[in-house]
Structure 1
Amino acid sequence: MTGQSYAGKTVLITGANGAIGTATAKMMADRGAEIFAVDIPGTDWKAFRQAVGHGDRVDTTEADVTRETDVKDYVIKAKTRFGKIDVFFNNAGIEGKYQELPDLDIENLESVFNVNVKGVVMGLKYVLPLMYAAGKGAVVNASSVAGLGGSPGLTPYIMSKHAILGVTRTAALEAAAKGVRVNCVNPGPIDGRMMDSINDGQGGQQKMHDATAAAIPMQRFGTPEEVAGLVAFLGSDDAGYCNGGFYTVDGAMTAA
């Protein structure tokens, strides 16, 4: 299997400065990719650049993925910098606040929806035409096991990650005949800032971390690198017939 070499490929990653984004950028850059990384205005890229390396093949920009002008701009910048976009990891997302439905802050609902759904859809709106023109490309959208079930207190996040499955399936049907594949990944609990924030809202970081880990058949959280490995596979030529699917990386959490 030679397809997972990324030599000569350009990868666009949103939410790149987070744990999964950084791990994916490093893995793909190590395999030869050019990386164009996007994250929110005010991002400090120092740790990202140190972790990813390959400075000559890595570039960064800042964008608010809820603003159409910003989305259009980061796609133009990626195309200008590297000449093409072969793989798009549509990864930007936020968890929002932990709030049960009677206490739901509608501003929280709108904020999560705008980043996690609107931001993903607008990324597709501007990346897909470049891939269509090239007659090839692979998109990996970031969903979650939260897109496959429920969880008290996280209605906006759950709603948004369910939506990504529908977006992925629809985009795959539109794109397949044009040589472009669209899939999504559904990670379970992954070590990093986002899960720490969710655990905090549910009653305490360490207490909830331990309780959640105990409920996972593999008895642990996943690592960002384990998600990155799945993203790298789906973006590669080895996944040439994978289209319109969702793929869990969750330690058998959703197998029951």
Structure 2
Amino acid sequence: MSKPSLSIGTIVTECCLLLIASIAFSIKAATWFLEDSNAMVQYRVTLFVVILAVCVSLVHLIYLVIRLGLFRLQSEGWKRRALYDRLTGVRNRSGLTLGWGEKMARGGHGLGIMLLILDADHFKRINDKLGHPAGDRALKAIAGTLAHSLRRDDLVGRMGGEEFAIVFNCSSEDQGRAIAERLRATIARLSVTEGGLTLPITVSIGGVFTAQPIGFQRLYDIADGNCYRSKRAGRNRVTTSTVPPVAYGHSAQHFRHGQPARAA
């Protein structure tokens, strides 16, 4: 969502110019209407007209500034709702995709980029045994852990359901995998409780490292396939890979080996 094209400063400047023009017009009009009156009457009437024009213009200017400020706040609210997940507060799929484009445009300063897909294990069991409010708390706990464990310029997003994604710069797959393992272990210390029953929270992680520009969807497909492998290998584990140079420009489906939809 684009920002308002005019800034408050521009609007104020234009209003000041209109105020000057209206004052000049008021003085000219007062002088013309009172040209047969004595100098004192002309002076008082002209002064009154100028003061009235200034007061009216200031009232309109203040009102306009307040309205523009409220509009800007409202626009920021619309933008946040469009790019951020309402439940967890992290980016949604659209917000993460937008952030990916911005991150690729800035460049990694000689570093590669790592995409991690995290999927909560046995999330259906949490919802079924503890209820959906407990499931929501589990998602918030995962999102909060991710947001507080990463750097300021890293991207965290909820892709939908119990799936999250992280994008960050690193020098190699090994470094990215070490970060993924740290996140997995941190989340594994979480739990959710409802009605005296406590269930652990764990995630399966799939990651992919690339040292060259590549489309987000292609990289996502590879990481998603690795996440499926983590699920199939027993959950609560990390599987990563590196996109080989020959893969650039080719479909990432080649690296998924036709994997079916992964289990919860």
What's the TM-score once normalised by structure 1's chain length? 0.27
Larger Rg: 2
